[in-house]
Amino acid sequence: MNIFQFYKDQFCDLLKDNKYNCNYEKISVEPPKQTSFGDLAFNAPLILAAEFKKNPLEIGSEIAELIKKKFKEFENIDVAKPGFINLKLKSNFWISYLSDFNTHNKKIPSSKKKINIEYVSANPTGPLHVGHCRGAVYGDVLANLLSFVGEDVTKEYYINDYGNQIHMFSKSVFARIQEIKENIKFPLDQGLYPGHYLIEIANNIIKKKLITDISNYEKIKDQLGSAAMSEAMLMIKSDLLALGIQHDLFVSEKDLVSKDLISKTIEILNQKQCIYEGVLEKPKGNEIEDWEPRSQLLFKSTRFGDDVDRALKKSDGTWTYFANDVAYHAYKLERKFDKYINVLGADHAGYLKRLKACVDALSDFKADFECKTCQLVKLFKSGEPYKMSKRAGDFITAKELVKAVGVDAVRFMMIYRSNDSQLDFDFDLVTEKTKENPVFYVQYASARIHSVLRKTKFDNSVFEKSHLGLLTSNVEIELVKKLSLWQKTIELAARNLEPHRIPYYLYDLSSSLHSYWNLGKEDSSFKIIENPDINLVHARVFLLNKILSVIKSGLSILGVNAPETM
RNA sequence: GCGCUCUUAGCUCAGCUGGAUAGAGCAUCGGUUUUCUAAACCGAGGGUCGGUGGUUCGAGUCCACCAGAGCGCACCA
């Protein structure tokens, strides 16, 4: 239960019943700035004061009286300075809260939202590199989070397996095959993909006998292209698996093209009068040598908030990449989701407005379509920027990163910052086994609790919950209060698509746990296991179990392991 | 030139649909251990929230302008 939401609803009903009408959207029940203020801060006096043109403190004491009359679980109700009502819940409220605490909220099936989330969608021309990792993890954690709060999530990958780059890729693989089979040196001056992974792809194609006759490139290029791409996709899927990611659906651009979806979609836009033949202005700023004014088929994206209209056809008359993408989004819309999320790298941010524009055009502004970008990741090693290898086409792959620091560290750290902020990723820090490493710190909390569970062999089912009343110390009640922030945290994270709130919360909870743990060193009455009162031991273990369940749930949303021992 | 994102403690960053005295970690300084996992804990100092205006009872949060950083800017994908 989210107690803040619960009391907000309760208090709003109370206000309504007593004719305190206002914009209830503005009313909030939140944790106060300082714990000394109590457990809940209710801002109604500030909102009502404006509405009723009265002193907030005066209204505050009226409402405080109403609350006092109706609710018995508050130990203290104060009206404070600018116009807050601060409420402190009795400790027996927290005890019963703990007793019923659950990490999940049941969601009524009818309120489930169908959500499509597209992420990674890296080109099928080679393995994932480190630059893909952040968006990949962000998208995946978001998917986990939305599933956790009860939504129906489809994880989607769009494969750009069509167009020029695929020809170049296929030529490159061909050159590598020639190099292997006929000792023809790989040409470095023809703009081919130089990366070493192409050798691996070439070898696989030879090994699997996917292509045997290499005498005439033109004759086999389509077959070779498909073979090379499916090899590349195998690489990507294996990289994703190493990152703990599995998509539900892979949509192929080539399929959309072969189903003639592009011209069909463009015709829809045409009927909506969003298409015209026109000439784009020369972009300012960066000089383009071979620029020439050109009449092209254009999408009127400026009507939907874009900066310029966008080309749908190239000068040779074929569809642009964007035209295909419009069709892809039409295909998404056709499948009727309640919400569409698209995760992109910061380097594609410039693409965002035209995507939104085409979705708005196709859906008549009805689709809930949101693009999220992830800022770049800067790699560090012991505080120094990490230099990538200079060899052309060589980069740190996702797999190398996972191999170097482990999937837990990669996932946790990639999500540890707001997606809008650039991220420093330090290879050394994330493998340290000290509290400086947040991954370790949270996992250590899990291991500590497990160690207690092992020693006490405590059986939840035989525990008499009435003994929870033995948890009388302030720190224990504070721990329960911290647990109560869990629901709020995931709801906020899910609503705003901000999964970074979860590791922050877990860090905070772990810190409270470690702190609690160490009390026993100063004062043996705080020892959890070595305590004469067996019922108190059980009550404390019950509390630890609930903390563990939150840590486990949180880490499972992040896709990070919660270890039993370390 | 235009667009998107960022600017909060020495460093790296949180900060909820605008709310009370702006929070963590690192670093610095000082304490706690014959351990229920010290791979931990406790304490101290440290701030003109990039700048200037505006909106209002109230702005780190919203708006405008300015400055700095990152990313991107026909037909590629």
Is the CB atom of residue A521 positioned under 7 angstroms from any atom of strand B?
Answer: yes
From the alpha carbon of A321, which nucleotide's C1' atom is closest? B77
How far is CA A510 from its chain centroid? 21
Is the CB atom of residue A26 positioned under 7 angstroms from any atom of strand B?
Answer: yes
Domain range annotation of chain A: 3-89, 164-238, 438-558
Domain A438-558 classification at class level? mainly alpha
From the alpha carbon of A437, which nucleotide's C1' atom is closest? B25
- Residue A1 reports pLDDT greater than 90: no
At the topology level, CATH places domain A3-89 in: Gyrase A; domain 2 (3.30.1360)
From the alpha carbon of A516, which nucleotide's C1' atom is closest? B41
- Residue A390 reports pLDDT greater than 60: no
Q: What is the pLDDT of residue A428?
A: 87
The interface pTM score, or ipTM, of the predicted complex is 0.95
- Residue A238 reports pLDDT greater than 50: yes
Residue with tokens 């405590």, as numbered in its chain = A458
The DSSP symbol for A319 reads B
The DSSP code sequence of A234-259 is HHHHHHHHHTT---SEEEEHHHHHHT
Q: What is the pLDDT of residue A153?
A: 97
From the alpha carbon of A306, which nucleotide's C1' atom is closest? B3
Give the burial string for A190-221 (b: 16+ CB within 10 Å, else e): eebbbbebbebbbebbbeeebbeebeeeeebe
Instruction: For residues A318-329, give the mean pLDDT.
Output: 97
Name residues 284-323 of chain A with a Cβ under 7 Å from nucleic strand B.
Answer: 284-286, 288, 290-294, 296, 307, 310-311, 314-316, 320-322
From the alpha carbon of A125, which nucleotide's C1' atom is closest? B77
Average pLDDT, chain A: 92
Name residues 384-423 of chain A with a Cβ under 7 Å from nucleic strand B.
Answer: 417-418, 420-423
From the alpha carbon of A564, which nucleotide's C1' atom is closest? B37
Is the CB atom of residue A529 positioned under 7 angstroms from any atom of strand B?
Answer: yes
Instruction: For residues A126-133, give the mean pLDDT.
Output: 92
Q: Give the CA-to-C1' distance from A449 to B33 in angstroms.
A: 20
How many C-beta atoms surround the C-beta of residue A34 within 10 A? 9
User: From CA A467, how far away is CA A537, in angstroms rounded?
Assistant: 10
Is the CB atom of residue A452 positioned under 7 angstroms from any atom of strand B?
Answer: yes
Chain B positions within 7 A of any protein Cβ atom are 1-7, 12-17, 19-21, 23-27, 32-33, 35-42, 57, 70-77
Instruction: For residues A216-229, give the mean pLDDT.
Output: 93
- Residue A392 reports pLDDT greater than 60: no
Q: What is the pLDDT of residue A188?
A: 84
Tens digits of per-residue pLDDT, A141-177? 999 999 999 999 999 999 999 998 999 999 999 999 9
The SS3 assignment for A464 reads coil
From the alpha carbon of A451, which nucleotide's C1' atom is closest? B37
Q: Give the CA-to-C1' distance from A100 to B74 in angstroms.
A: 61
Tens digits of per-residue pLDDT, A472-492? 999 999 999 999 999 999 999
Q: What is the pLDDT of residue A388?
A: 62
Tens digits of per-residue pLDDT, A249-291? 999 999 999 999 999 999 999 999 999 999 998 888 777 778 8
Residue with tokens 């494969």, as numbered in its chain = A159
Q: Give the CA-to-C1' distance from A118 to B61 in angstroms.
A: 30
Is the CB atom of residue A460 positioned under 7 angstroms from any atom of strand B?
Answer: no
Q: Give the CA-to-C1' distance from A405 to B42 in angstroms.
A: 31
Tens digits of per-residue pLDDT, A187-200? 988 888 888 899 99
Q: What is the pLDDT of residue A522?
A: 86
> What angle, rounded to 10 degrees, do the helices at A44-52 and A3-17 form?
30
- Spatial neighbors of A295 by CB under 8 A, at least 6 apart, are A277, A278, A279
Is the CB atom of residue A436 positioned under 7 angstroms from any atom of strand B?
Answer: yes
Q: What are the start-end ranges of the H helices in A415-500? A: 438-456, 474-496
B36 C1': nearest CA residue: A529
